[in-house]
């Protein structure tokens, strides 16, 4: 999409610190981290959030969780624990309307989330 920040990062129109890429997704460092490790896993295909997901995206979302777990292992944060967060719509904190999954680690997290 023309004016989407994450589409621009996916196709190289905007810079980002990319830590992973394959044919389906990229993972980048969040520009405004809220934890010592704060990555965003972003599908290359633009869709808004889980409300906009198609049946054909079923495997894609599973793939994202597998990659997140692999990144967590490779960064040595798996054992202590990490969070995968997906905000859906503004009331839940979504500010970029191209679906993405936050991978957060490196500090203690509280529950319930804020
Ligand atoms: P959400 O609020 O769940 O939609 O998350 C959007 C995330 O994207 C926030 O954590 C922002 O800090 C992050 N973000 C926004 N613009 C950029 C950018 N250009 N590069 C990296 N992360 C970004
Ligand atoms: Zn997009």
The two structure tokens encoding residue 106: 């490196």
Asked about 63 being catalytic, the answer comes back as: no
- Classify residue 55 as exposed, middle or buried by CB count within 10 Å of its CB (0-12, 13-18, 19+): exposed
pLDDT of 13-61, one tens digit each?
A: 999 999 999 999 999 999 999 999 999 999 999 999 999 999 999 999 9
User: How many helices, marked H, and strands, marked E, lie in the chain?
Assistant: 2, 5
Pocket of ligand 1 (CB under 6 A): 5, 14, 16, 28, 30-32, 40, 87, 93-96
Which overall architecture, per CATH, does domain 5-105 show?
Answer: 2-Layer Sandwich (3.30)
Q: How far, in Å, CA of 100 to CA of 29, rounded?
A: 12
Ligand 1 mean position, distance from CA 32 (Å): 7
pLDDT confidence bin for 114, thresholds 50/70/90: confident
Ligand 2 mean position, distance from CA 56 (Å): 17
Rg (CA), the chain: 14
Q: Domain residue spans in the chain?
A: 5-105
């Amino acid at each position: 999409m023309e004016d989407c920040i994450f589409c621009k990062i996916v196709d190289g129109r905007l810079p980002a610190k990319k830590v992973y890429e394959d044919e389906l997704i990229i993972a980048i460092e969040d520009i405004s981290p809220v934890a010592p490790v704060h990555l965003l896993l972003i599908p290359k295909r633009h869709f808004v959030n889980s409300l906009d997901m198609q049946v054909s995206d079923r495997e894609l979302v599973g793939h994202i969780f597998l990659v997140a777990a692999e990144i967590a292992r490779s960064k040595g944060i798996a054992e202590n624990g990490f969070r995968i967060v997906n905000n859906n719509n503004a009331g839940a904190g979504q500010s970029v309307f191209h679906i993405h999954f936050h991978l957060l680690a490196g500090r203690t997290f509280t529950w319930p989330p804020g």
